[in-house]
Amino acid sequence: MKDINVKNLTIAYIGGGSRGWAWTLMTDLAKEKELSGTVRLYDIDKDAAENNKIIGNRLSSRPDAVGKWNYAVSNTYEEALTGADFVIISILPKTFDEMEIDVHMPERLGIYQSVGDTAGPGGMMRALRTLPMFIEFAENIKKYCPDAWVINYTNPMSLCVKALYTTFPEIKAFGCCHEVFGTQKVLAEIVKRELGEAEVTKDDIKINVLGINHFTWFDYASYKGTDLFPVYKKYIDEHYEEGLDKNDTNWMNSTFACAHRVKFDLFRRFGLIAAAGDRHLAEFMPGNDYLKNPEQVRDWKFGLTTVSWRKNDLKERLERAGRLARGEEDINLTEETGEEGVLLMKAICGLGRVIANVNIPNFAHQIPNLPETAVVETNALFERDAIRPVYAGALPENVKALITPHVENHERIMKVVLGGNKDSELVCEAFMNDPLIKGRASKDDVSALVKDMMEATL
């Protein structure tokens, strides 16, 4: 990394018209007094980027914003990327109309998906749309800012990071995901209830992370020297049926909340603490386990995130974007965003050392019984111009058997994309290998589904 001035950083934001992640980044940058500089917003929707320029500069001008940033719109990759210290990628591949097909067309075969952006047929179709863009991103990063650090927030996380490294092996890229934090918060809540502790935060819960994105696991969890596995087991034994609802969030009245019953069940079955939201975890498992039908989903106390909900949410965010740009509403700087991206940027700049979960290839054999080419999620040490993966150890064979079909499908989908998205037979093979579908539909029906989904979304 070239010597940088932390008071004059350049961040290139691909997807800078975002009505969600961009505001999260702006919030965290405004609250960080040790960093300042320029954020170049690049988006195919230039009007959205222009709107975010207004919102970002308005926020930065506030006296309570201790981090001062200039937000500018870039018209080309060259303009956005040249000289960048960091590149942030947060995009939606195409629109929610395509995602509606990803999530809901498989329901004609009785295949239900609770998210549809990472695993299952929805995750794979989304990857076929997304990875060609990531190949283009990597080519431009190699051309205009090869030494920049690249942070990806886009799903399917594992495959997006894989595409970056496949295209530009020397790239310095990693994927950030907050799902692990949610399980640390679950453990913190259980510590309060079981051990009588008054104040426990997620950062008090020390963990070892291993797995793949959205299908991560803890084989170690500790609170001030206390092994949390027996504590977790006791809580599950006493509360297995009702699960755990935090006081401020109930699974029945929130699209994203759950009662963590899937986590509890996976612990009983496999002995490790599953470390993602139940909506994500369920999609990696055989379809009859948790996603056989909407009634079974309700029994496990989580929800199916419909694309109609996402479309309505986008409508509300577009309205909010207008209010923010006109100064009729202000971003709240007192609330925590729950993201660590800016903290990791600080560490990479040399302003501290941080251990955090990260998605990168298994080059250091941090999970020795997964392939070197797999993109895995483990802890890593972040320090000046370096990410050093923490050795996580081998997966237990029973958990490895759950992860392996997905790692195999990552290879298949990457091969399809590199071949120009023409090999529907290989996509069909990946669908048939996916646990949500395997054994639940005939090859002819799956082949017809693949053909219809590819024609409608690519």
Active site residue ranges: 178
67: which residues sit within 8 A by CB, 6+ positions away?
29, 30, 31, 32, 33, 34, 35, 36, 60
Contact 290/297 with Cβ under 8 angstroms?
yes
User: Among residues 25, 90, 87, which one has the least CA distance to residue 60?
Assistant: 25
Closest CA to 406 of 310, 281, 222, 293: 281
Per-residue 3-state assignment (H helix, E strand, C coil) for 291-317: CCCHHHHHHCCCCCCCHHHHHHHHHHH
Nearest CA to 31 among 72, 71, 70, 60?
60
- For the record, the structure tokens of 157 come out as 């996380």
What stretch of H or E contains 165?
helix 157-167
Give the whole-angstrom CA distance, residue 266 versus residue 230. 15
- Which H or E run contains 226? strand 226-227
Report the SS3 class of residue 70.
Answer: strand
Give yes or no for a contact between 207 and 180, defined as CB atoms under 8 angstroms apart: yes
- Least Cα distance to 177 among 321, 1, 305, 338 occurs for 338
What does the alpha-carbon distance between residue 458 and residue 448 come to, in Å, rounded to a whole number? 15
Query: Which residues are bridge partners to 14 per DSSP?
Result: 42, 89
